[in-house]
Structure 1
Amino acid sequence: MTEPIFLEPVFHEKIWGGRKLATDFGYDLPDGKIGEVWAISAHPNGPDTIANGPLKGKTLDVAWRENQEYFGHQKEKVFPLLTKILDANDSLSVQVHPDDAYAAAHERPGELGKTECWYVISAEPGSYLIYGHHAKTRQELADMIHRGDWEHLLRKVPVKTGDFVYVPSGTIHALNKGIMVLETQQSSDTTYRLYDYDRVGADGKKRELHLQQSIDTTTVPSHDPELNITKTTKDDATITTFVTAPISKFFSVYKIDLDGKLNQTPTAPYTLVSVLEGAGTIEADGKSYPLKKGVHFIIPNQIKAWTFTGKMMMIVSTPGAEQ
């Protein structure tokens, strides 16, 4: 396949969601509080459908199993990454995600752990995240969770538009009201909630908490990863490297600010691209494909060179080493 793989996104209603994915990105949303668009997904809880080319009509999970030539003949049983946009119209639950070993032992067969990262598309003035905690030992963590001593346990971190946040598995975290992010993560849908503001769901009941799993999987003591964010220029683009190996073994994530042309060749078996601002084209194998804000696609293994043209901001990710 010598053309990009464009995808039809899947939308998920959330108690904390809103309608900004329609107003800001032009998505045709279903009714309700839509919190997430799963933009590049092969996860069984929301696999995207391929919109073009020889694989048109297949879901990405089926293509991963049946058409490995498009992905460089990888050994992973499942497509390893998931790209989302999240609209936090209200605060998300305070939560933590397991690593691969814990997920394999305690969740459905094939479920991965969840290391993720956020590019902050927009954040209202005064916005902050829950990121990390103040407990020094696991016993202190458990005691503070069971007492509900959130004021002393949880760490609040200011955040603004354009920030990048890396969230390894084991990190207590939460997006708060007024923040929209592009999330790059392992392909997992496992979340352990330790606090949910005593909210009730559509059924009138408080949502389930996972206190023991949270205590078991949280990294103690908490620590911030030391990122080495760098900027380089190439052709008519500025490329910001947010995270890559050895800090992250699961993915590399970049931002491309383009005003003109950018010629690229692959650095991985396949490449994931999300257009977050502007419009332009991608040219591959002599053909040109239009791009605009809100479009997400995969550059498959068969494409050995491509050119972006236009005025765009894109978040690009590539998979880490095979696990």
Structure 2
Amino acid sequence: MYNQPIFLQPEFKERLWGGTKLKEIFNYEIPSETTGECWGISGHSNGSNQIKNGPLQGKTLAEAWSNHRELFANEEGDEFPLLVKILDSKKDLSVQVHPDDEYARKIENETYGKTECWYVIDCEEGAEIIFGHNANSKEELATMIENGQWEDLLHRIAVKPGDFYYVPSGTIHAIGEGIQILETQQSSDITYRVYDYDRTDKDGQKRELHLDRSLDVTNVPHVNPFLEREHQLEAGVRTEMLVEEAYFTVHHLSLDGKSNPITYENYQLFSVLDGEGNITTGEGIFPFTKGDHFIIPATVESYTIEGKASLITSHSNK
């Protein structure tokens, strides 16, 4: 029986809006000074993580999902359902929106749409996100987009470290410059750009917009999701519920000491935002540190977590 954490090698993505904070904050070896994304836990075909330890060392998470489903509580589905990223926005991301599952399958021939959520790790003073819009009908939304009424249309929110946002499919959104977030999302890479600030690439070309599909999938009117960030303290762990919804449940863990033994029938995803510690299972002691990403498989009957650290943990609700 597989009785240890599965540690994953991050995948990095260069982006027009990326920077160097992934190296500065997490000491990652990034490919360039425009590195926008660390895919920390991914089985997606555009970047499946390699396993760093244990019997499956050298295999990818996608291969583990296909061939060792017992590690994932025999969950159904052809693809690993979640994707966990850390993003560094040196510049503004495009204003965008994502489809739901039904639209993704019908129009894109993809398994999943994209519902996501953001935990703000750090940001510059005065940093903002775009979250939602002010149109009251599809017709008004189309008119305001056509007329370029971006200041009237888009809803801007100032952010600070520790903020959390749940972003269901159909929500117009953008991460502003100077923000680093951890994003937990469905395993999808479908993005429809609504507005890109008329930016051009190195060849002087504007990036493609997807206005028809954006209008198809955008929720109108926009409604802010209600979140109640409840927390509990047990032994050395303060657990804060961030969101529990159809696709995933996400918690923030503040670790200061040693937990009681944890038993859980499902598999759990962990990303270490700060600090260090150990996971202890029946097979041994496994250290973790800032920037690590790992999975506790369903085959681990019991474990303890110990140290001083800040972590985001999640699991699938499929």
Q: TM-score range by the shorter chain?
A: over 0.9
Structure 2 CA distance for aligned equivalents of residues 290 and 51 of structure 1: 13
Task: Using the TM superposition, give the Cα deviation of residue 108 of structure 1 relative to its aligned residue in structure 2, in angstroms.
Answer: 3.5
Runs of 4+ with >4 A deviation: none
Show CA shifts across 1:262-295 (max 9, x none).
1353445200000101111111114101110000
Residue 53 (str. 1) matches residue 54 (str. 2) = yes
Task: Name the counterpart of 1:178.
Answer: 178
The TM-score with structure 1 as length reference comes to 0.96
CA contact (8 A) 2:97 2:171 kept: yes
**Matching of residues 151-166 of structure 1 within 5 Å:** 151-166=151-166
Q: Is the 8 A contact 1:61 1:78 kept in 2?
A: yes
Q: Greater CA deviation, 281-290 or 6-15?
A: 281-290
Matched with 1:250 is 247
Q: Which residue of 2 aligns with 1:91?
A: 92
Kindly provide the amino acid, as one letter, of the partner of residue 312 in structure 2: I
Q: What is the distance in 2 between the residues matched to 1:43 and 1:83?
A: 11
Percentage identity across paired residues of the two chains: 50
Q: Structure 1 309/28 Cα, relative in aligned 2: closer, same or farther at 3 Å?
A: same
The answer (yes or no) to whether the contact 2:9–2:40 under 8 Å persists in 1 is yes
The residue type equivalent to 2:37 in the other structure is E
Give the 3 Å change call, closer, same or farther, for CA 109–241 of structure 1 in structure 2.
Answer: closer
Residue 305 of structure 1, CA deviation = 1.3
Looking at structure 1, the residues matched to 11 and 283 of structure 2 have their Cα atoms a distance apart, in angstroms, of 31
> 2:256 aligned to 255, 259, 268, which one?
259
Deviation at 1:203, TM superposition (A): 3.4
- Residues 229 and 240 of structure 2 are in contact (CA less than 8 Å); yes or no, is this contact kept in structure 1? yes
Please tell me the root mean square deviation across aligned C-alpha atoms, in Å.
Answer: 1.0
- TM-score normalised to the size of structure 2? 0.98
* Contact 1:8/1:51 (8 A) holds in 2: yes
Q: Where does the alignment leave 5 or more consecutive residues of structure 1 unmatched?
A: none
Match in the other structure for 2:11:
10
Give yes or no for the alignment of 1:317 onto 2:318: no
Closer/same/farther in 2, CA of residues 160 and 202 from structure 1, 3 Å limit: same
Partner of 2:38: 37
User: Could you say which residue in structure 1 is the equivalent of 2:28?
Assistant: 27
Quick one: distance in 2 between partners of 1:125 and 1:19? Answer: 18
- Structure 2: any 5+ residue segments left out of the alignment? none
Q: Which residue of 1 aligns with 2:292?
A: 295
Tell me the secondary structure at the aligned position of residue 241 of structure 2: strand
Residues in 1 aligned to 2:275 and 2:217: alpha-carbon distance in whole angstroms: 40
SS at the partner of 1:313? strand
Question: Any conservation in 2 of the 1:263–1:305 contact (CA below 8 Å)?
Answer: no
- How many residues are paired up? 317
Letter in 1 for 2:42: S
